[in-house]
Amino acid sequence: MTATEERASPGVGRVLVVDDDEGLARFIVEVLTDAGHHAEAVSSAALARRRVEATGYDVVITDLRMPGESGLDLIAWLRRYDPRVAVLAVTAYGSLETAVQAMRLGAADYIPKPFEPAALLLAVDKSLRAGAMRSEIERLRVEADARYGFDAMVARSAVMRELIALARRVADSASAVLIQGPSGAGKEMMARAIHQASRRRARPYVEVDCGAIPDALLEAELFGEALGVPGTPQHKVRPGRLQEADGGTVLLDEVDALPLPVQIKLLRVLRDREVTPVGSTQRVAVDLRVIACSNLDLRSAVAAGAFREDLYFLLNVIEMAIPPLADRVDDIPALAERFLETFNARTGRRVTGFSPAAALLLTSYGWPGNVRELQNAVERAVVVGVGPEVAPDDLPPALRQPRGHDFLDEAAVRGMTISELEVAYARRVLIKNGGNKKKTARLLGIDRRTLYRWLGEREESAESDEG
C-alpha cells in the first residue's frame, strides 16, 4: 500500500441501507456493524431522503426496485443533493441495462443479489477509500488556493486590483500570457495564481528559469533530447520541460534571455503544438498553456533585434505589466503585515505590528528590490527586533538613511503628479519629525485635516498627535 493510500485509508464509515426487505436490510446492517461501521436502515427512498437531510452519510446502499420511488430515483436525487455520498446499487431484479443506468446516474458500484458479506464489505471499503482520497485532493486544492491563488495576493492599489481582475477573466483560457515588470515585483506569483484558477490546476505547473540555464543546455532542457544510439537498447528520449508540462502550464521566466536559435524552435512549438527533442526526428504532441515573464520591455528587445517579433506576438496574447512597488504605495502596509504574520509563525515571535515611524519608513522608501526586498526587510525586523512592535532601528539601514538621489529627479522619472508629490513630500517631513503630525502640518503650512487626508488616514484627537 502506498503512502497516499495509507493516508486515504477508509476506516469507519457511516452507512445508510435502503431496502423494503426488512430481513435483508437487517442482515446488511449486522454485517457492517460487525466490521466496525456505523450502519442503519430505512425501508423506502422517501425515508432515505429525510435521513440523509438530517444526518451525514459516507455511503448509501440502496435496492433498485422498491414500492413508490425507485432506487434509481434516489440515486439521481443523491447526486444533486450531495455528490460526496457514495452510492452502491443492490438488487435481485437488475439486469445489465439496469446496472448501467444506475452507474450513469452516479452509483459508485453495483452488487447483484445474492452476495457474500465479504463482497459487500469490499465494495463499502472501496467507496470509503475513494471518498477519503477525494477529500484529501479537495483539502490540497483549498490549501493550494490559499497559498498560490488570487486571494493570496495583496491588492490594495487600484492598478493591482485591475490586474488581478484581468487575470481572473483570462485564467481559464488556453491563451498565452506575457507578464512584464521589474525583478521582485510579483510576476511569478501572478503566473502561479493564473494556473491555480484555471481548469489545468490539477495538471503540472512547470517553471523554467531561462536566464539561469546555460545556453548549451537550454535547448535540451526545454525540448528534451535523444540519448544513446538509435536501434539499440540504450536508446531513449529524455522528455524536456515542455513535455513535462503537458496538460498543464509552463512558466518561461526571463524569456528575454532565450538565444535566437531556441526562440525559433519555441516558435514552432507554440505554432504547431508539437515538440521535437534534440537529436530526434520524432514529434511529440503537447497541450500546454504558456506564461512568459520578462524584466525587460520585450518591444524594445524586438526593436533591437534581440527577440523575434513573431515569437513576441505569439506570447503576447494577454499582456500584463506589474509596476514597481514604489508605484503602488497602497500595497506596502498590507504586504508588510502579511510578511509579519509569516515570519511570526516561522520564528515563534509575536510582533504585533509596526510603530508609526517604522510604518512611515516603509511607505517612503523607494524599494528598488520591490516586494522581495520588502519581504527581506520584514524578516530582518522580526529576527533582530526585541520589542512588541517593529521599530525603525529593526529595519535595514538603507531604509533609515537619506536617499542618495535627488527627490525631484526621481519624481520626474516616475512621472509623479503634483498631488502625488505633495503626499510623498509630506511623508518625508513627517518622518523627519518623528511622526508628529501637528508639527509636520505647521511646517508644511497646512492644517492637520489636510495632512490626514493626504496620508489617507482618519483624523485623530489632538492629544494622540503631540508625541
Fold exhibited by the domain 327-465: Helicase, Ruva Protein; domain 3 (1.10.8)
pLDDT mean over 236-263: 93
Contact 45, 70 (CB under 8 A): yes
What percentage of the chain exceeds 90 in pLDDT?
A: 49
Band (pLDDT 50/70/90 cuts) for residue 339 is very high
Main-chain dihedrals φ then ψ at residue 367, nearest 5 degrees: 50, 65
Highest mean pLDDT, choosing among 108-112, 126-130, 298-302: 298-302
Contact 272, 218 (CB under 8 A): no
The per-residue pLDDT for range 121-150, each reduced to its tens digit, is 888 988 888 887 777 666 666 666 566 688
pLDDT mean over 342-359: 93
Contact 28, 19 (CB under 8 A): yes
On the question of pLDDT at 78 being above 80, the answer is yes
Distance CA 358, CA 467 (A): 15
Q: Output the pLDDT for position 407.
A: 61
What percentage of the chain exceeds 70 in pLDDT?
A: 86
Alpha helices (runs of H) in 348-433, residue ranges in sequence order:
356-364, 370-384, 397-400, 407-414, 418-432
Q: What is the pTM of this model?
A: 0.63
Considering only the top CATH level, what class is 11-141? alpha beta
Contact 197, 141 (CB under 8 A): no
The DSSP annotation for 190-212 comes to HHHHHHHTSTTTTS-EEEEETTT
Q: In the numeric block, which cell numbers belong to residue 52?
A: 440523509
Fold match flag (11-141 vs 327-465): no
Distance CA 409, CA 412 (A): 5
Q: In the numeric block, which cell numbers belong to residue 48?
A: 432515505
Q: Output the pLDDT for position 383.
A: 95
Fold exhibited by the domain 151-322: Rossmann fold (3.40.50)
Distance CA 223, CA 170 (A): 27
Q: Domain ranges in the chain?
A: 11-141, 151-322, 327-465
Q: In the numeric block, which cell numbers belong to residue 431?
A: 518622518
Compute CA 96 distance to the chain's CA centroid, rounded to the nearest angstrom.
44
**Residue 215 CB: number of other CB atoms within 10 A?**
12
Residue reference for cell 524536456: 240
